[in-house]
Copies of this chain bind each other. A is one copy, B any other.
Amino acid sequence: MTTARQSPRARNARGEGAKLKLDIIAAAGRLLDATGNPDAVTLRAVAREIGVAAPSIYAHFPDREAIVQALIEEGYAEAVADITAARDSETDPVRQLEAGVRAYLRFALDNPARYTVMLGRPGSHDPEPSRGVTDPATISFQLLVTAINECVREGRSRSTDPHRSATAIMVAIHGYALMKPQRPTFPWPPEDGFITYLVATLAGIE
């Protein structure tokens, strides 16, 4: 990253022009991770990072904002896939609950800047709530509620209000995911035990 101009990259072969689109998203991701600031993902910085002229980007994105949007949507898809895969790798409902939460947290901690932007954009999620469950934060929350309900149904949770329990876990994990990378000098408890404690306590696991 930084200002160092990349050696001008080799032109893509005929029919492979779409490869540049992937390079653009990847470069934007590196820029975002490096700066933590979506405003630093400028069209020209992305072009510089790849070693391409700025106008070349317009063949793949209508404007600057679309690059950031693409980055966010890529993150959404990845996070939801990770969470459901983690859940489906377990059969015990308590373990399913924990596995999902851990996968969510892993995504957030592995991509702190992207996670911040994904959840921090006002209006980037659910501007029209009635048009379906496209919002991945809503999807994650639904998975959480379902997992807790399953625990209750099998007598593993004494939660009297799964919606409230899920909300509590959601905000706690969200807060942890944001604060942990930002405050490395804080004396954080060991992560594994802390997450288990949070989930167990807030979901009322017996």
A interface residues with partner B (beta carbon < 8 Å) = 36-37, 39, 116, 119-120, 122, 125-126, 129, 137, 141, 161, 163-164, 167-168, 170-176, 178-179, 182-183, 185-189, 194, 197-198, 201-202
Interface centre among A167, A189, A201 (most CB of B within 10 A): A167
Chain B residues near A122: list those with CB within 8 A.
36, 182
Distance in angstroms between the alpha carbons of A161 and B37 in the assembled complex? 36
Chain B residues near A198: list those with CB within 8 A.
168
The oligomer's copy count stands at 2
Distance in angstroms between the alpha carbons of A122 and B201 in the assembled complex? 30
Chain B residues near A116: list those with CB within 8 A.
120
List 15 additional A-B contacts (Cβ < 8 Å) besides A37-B39, A164-B197, A171-B173. Answer: A39-B39, A141-B186, A161-B189, A163-B187, A164-B194, A167-B194, A168-B172, A168-B194, A168-B201, A170-B179, A172-B172, A172-B175, A174-B175, A174-B179, A178-B178
